[in-house]
Amino acid sequence: MDHDTTLLLGLDGLAVTKVVAAGNEPQDGPVVHLATADERARCCPQCGVVAVRMKEWVTTRPRDLPVGGRCCALRWRKRRWCCDQASCPRQTFTEQVPQVPARARLTTRLRQAAGAAGAAVADGGRTVIHSARDHRVSWPIVSAAFTAHARRVLPAQPAPVNVLGIDEIRRGRPRWVLEESTGTWTTTVDRWHVGFVDLSGEQGLLGQVEGRPSPR
């Protein structure tokens, strides 16, 4: 194992076994092969007993932050263990470390960076799509991080409003679906939204509701 490269990567509990050069495309980064370096990964997550019988090898591909300005493709070859404790309902489990929990597609530090991206959307004027592109993650990941950040910093209920502004906003395109039972089209996504704004205070946009009032 390459000790220096392991230190450079900085994923606790994982060791670099080899690095394969990048592909021909400019966006291709090196492929970093990993092995488990933490004996605690052999402990059953259900009962905590150290497993001694291995079932099979599996390879996962967690996504991570860029290293040295380059995005690396991680390949973690790890073991699936059998839990032989009769009282434990868990029969098998795969190795996991704090930076890459079980069934995680992103490293913990990449998720934390996505959370910071959500804060940038809330406080720094960044859009969700721009923050997603910066970290090379999907739109829903940053959107969920933004929602989690907003829930932490916003009060459960807004303060009383003296002057409430209500305005219609048009964005995107509508989407329709055909109801087979009636043969009619109904709107699933409306391009019109109604926004509620605190005009006299500093709370800004209080909420947004899809659709628009029916004309009278």
Segment 68-73 shows an average pLDDT of 82
Half-sphere exposure of 209 (CA within 13 A, CB side): 8
Tokens of 140: 């829903």
If asked whether residues 39 and 21 sit together in one domain, one would say yes
If asked whether residues 91 and 117 sit together in one domain, one would say no
Please check the confidence at residue 160 and state whether its pLDDT lies above 90: no
The total number of structural domains in the chain stands at 3
If asked whether residues 121 and 89 sit together in one domain, one would say no
If asked whether residues 139 and 172 sit together in one domain, one would say no
Q: Which residues, including other chains, have CB under 8 Å from residue 62's CB and lie 6 or more apart?
A: 74, 76, 100, 104, 105, 106, 107
SS3 category, 186? strand
If asked whether residues 143 and 187 sit together in one domain, one would say no
pLDDT at 147: 79
If asked whether residues 97 and 49 sit together in one domain, one would say yes
Task: Give the pairing of strands 31-36 and 73-82.
Answer: parallel
pLDDT at 97: 95
If asked whether residues 168 and 137 sit together in one domain, one would say no
Please check the confidence at residue 215 and state whether its pLDDT lies above 80: no
- 215 inside domain: no
- 19 inside domain: yes
The DSSP element (H or E) to which 145 belongs, if any, is helix 139-153
If asked whether residues 18 and 71 sit together in one domain, one would say yes
If asked whether residues 23 and 44 sit together in one domain, one would say yes
- 158 inside domain: no
- 216 inside domain: no
If asked whether residues 133 and 44 sit together in one domain, one would say no
- 106 inside domain: no
- 145 inside domain: yes
Question: Using 50, 70 and 90 to split pLDDT, how confident is the model at 48?
Answer: very high
pLDDT at 94: 96
Please check the confidence at residue 43 and state whether its pLDDT lies above 60: yes
- 178 inside domain: yes
- pTM, two decimals, is 0.66
Long-range contacts of range 154-158, CB-CB < 8 Å, 24 or more positions apart?
A: 158/198, 158/203, 158/206
Cα three-residue angle 24-25-27, rounded to 5 degrees: 135
pLDDT at 88: 92
Q: Name the domain boundary from 101, 124, 144.
A: 101
> 140 is in which domain, residue-wise?
111-153
Segment 175-181 shows an average pLDDT of 77
Q: Using one digit for the tens of pLDDT, what is the confidence trace for 1-24? A: 678 888 888 899 999 999 998 766
If asked whether residues 7 and 83 sit together in one domain, one would say yes
CB atoms within 10 A of CB 111: 19
If asked whether residues 76 and 139 sit together in one domain, one would say no
Alpha-carbon gap, residue 176 to 190, rounded angstroms = 9
pLDDT at 81: 96
Please check the confidence at residue 58 and state whether its pLDDT lies above 70: yes
Q: In whole numbers, what is the pLDDT of the chain averaged over residues? A: 83
- 185 inside domain: yes
